[in-house]
Chains A and B, each alone.
Chain A
Amino acid sequence: MKNVFYFLIPSSFLITIIAGLFTSWLHRKITAKFQYRIGPRWYQDFVDAFRMFNRRPVFLKDSPASLFLLASALNFTAVMVVSIIVWFAVIAPQTAFAGDLIVILYLLNMPALSLMLGRIGRHARLMMAYELPFILSLLVPIILSGGIIKLADLHQFKQAGFSILRHPSLIFSFLAALVSSQAKLALPQFDGQAIETNIGSPEPIDYSGLALAVNKMASMVSLFVIPFFLTVVFLGAIGPRGAGSVPLVIIKTFAVVLLTIIIKNKGPMFKPEQSLRFLSGPVTAIAVISVILALLGF
């Protein structure tokens, strides 16, 4: 058991960072293609990450620098711990612990908290809107499986013939989770101020140097980790069972990433008030419908 831990933790850590940087590049490249541009080269995000970590941190005179460094570290650690829990659920289900799904839900709020500590209050309001449909949609697989809150068991249960193709409630809940995860990832869809070329963007100016690098790295990695988590929860059942499903889980994760990028580029852009209304209105309604369908056994 210990050997599995020693081997899996560093390797899943490394694989997640590489996958996160690759996903970030995919986002930039495909967005560029949507805008008739060439886009960055494949190694651009790795170079950017290296450069960011090499920059000297500069903090404002009276700002609590240690708080910003701590918030960034918390953000990155939370995302990495989520990725390790999900990797364990897929690769070594025997090592998973009970209630890891609830731990993941808690940890996925850390990036928003970190941004709030960096004086970006808009995430607090957005969080109120997207958190309810996200949690409601995650309830559906739990209800259908008869109350399993252990991700590894849920993954195995789904592999035993419990599929999104057979349960309409899972389709609705996956849609609600996908849309609310767009807001969770702070993509420009719902968080218009986060658009890359916005000159007046209230980006975290308190974060600089190492703090900014760690924060950016966390958001790059979460571009991979959240679709990975959604894949394991909702799409685990499509394809072969057992250990053979691991490569397929990765392929399905990148399919979800692709879906996210397409929604980001081709979907409507919401103003702050509109995004709050949309997330707490139709998206929450779809999540509630999916929960009712799940309770009825569909």
Chain B
Amino acid sequence: MPRFDVEQCGVVFVQNARDADILFVIGAIIKKAAPQIKRTYEEMQKPSFVVAVGSCACSGVLFKAGNNTLLGVDKIIPVDVYVPGCPPRPEAIILGIAKAVEKCP
């Protein structure tokens, strides 16, 4: 049962990057996915904010030795909030969302 709730922070899931304020990047960023992530970020209306969730999205820890993985999503788009952890606790993710929401105008 979903006991952790981001709707109380005023967050609503939208299907379209054009209508989103916050972009969540979760998991390791493989080089093939990088252009899509960049394009999704560019589609968002500015000001928009990026939250990197998990150690892989923050710095690519586990995949550091690999040649097909970027060492963090901040190599391609600016990141506003980092939520480290492998995996991060739900409370930590909600805190990251809350910090990103605070930045929204």
Chain A positions within 8 Å of B, measured between CB atoms, are 28, 32, 35-41, 44, 47-48, 52, 55-56, 58, 196-199, 201, 203, 205, 208, 212
Contacts and interface: CB of A to CB of B under 8 A. Distances in A.
B15 A37 contact: no
B45 interface: yes
Given A36-B1, A39-B8, A48-B12, 16 more contacts: A36-B2, A36-B3, A37-B3, A37-B5, A38-B5, A39-B5, A39-B7, A41-B8, A41-B10, A44-B7, A47-B10, A48-B10, A55-B45, A198-B15, A199-B13, A208-B19
A94 B38 CA distance: 61
Contact of A201 (B7, B8, B10, B15): B15
A196 B10 contact: no
Most chain B C-beta atoms within 10 Å of own C-beta, residue among A37, A48, A196, A197 = A37
Contacts of A198: 15
A37 B2 contact: yes
B16 interface: yes
B50 to A, nearest CB: 18
Contacts of A38: 5, 7-8
Which 8 pairs, one residue from A and one from B, show the smallest C-beta to C-beta distance?
A37-B5, A203-B15, A38-B8, A58-B18, A38-B5, A36-B1, A40-B7, A208-B18
Interface in B1-60: 1-5, 7-8, 10, 12-13, 15-16, 18-19, 45
Contacts of A28: 7
Contacts of A56: 45
A52 B18 CA distance: 12
7 contacts: A28-B7, A37-B7, A37-B8, A56-B45, A198-B15, A199-B13, A203-B15
B19 A55 contact: yes
Contacts of A44: 7, 10
A31 B59 CA distance: 37
Given A55-B45, A201-B15, A35 B1 contact: yes
Interface residues of B, number: 15
Describe A's contact surface by its main secondary structure.
Answer: loop
Nearest to B11: A40
Given A58-B18, A196-B13, A197-B13, A32 B7 contact: yes
Interface of B: 1-5, 7-8, 10, 12-13, 15-16, 18-19, 45
Nearest to A57: B18
Nearest to A195: B13
A128 B4 CA distance: 39
B2 A35 contact: yes
A40 B10 CA distance: 6
Contacts of B45: 55-56, 58
Contacts of A212: 19
Most chain A C-beta atoms within 10 Å of own C-beta, residue among B4, B12, B45 = B12
Contacts of A55: 19, 45
Contacts of A36: 1-3
A205 B16 contact: yes
A196 B7 CA distance: 11
A198 B15 CA distance: 8
A39 B26 CA distance: 24
B16 A40 contact: no
Given A35-B1, A37-B2, A203 B16 contact: yes
A247 to B, nearest CB: 31
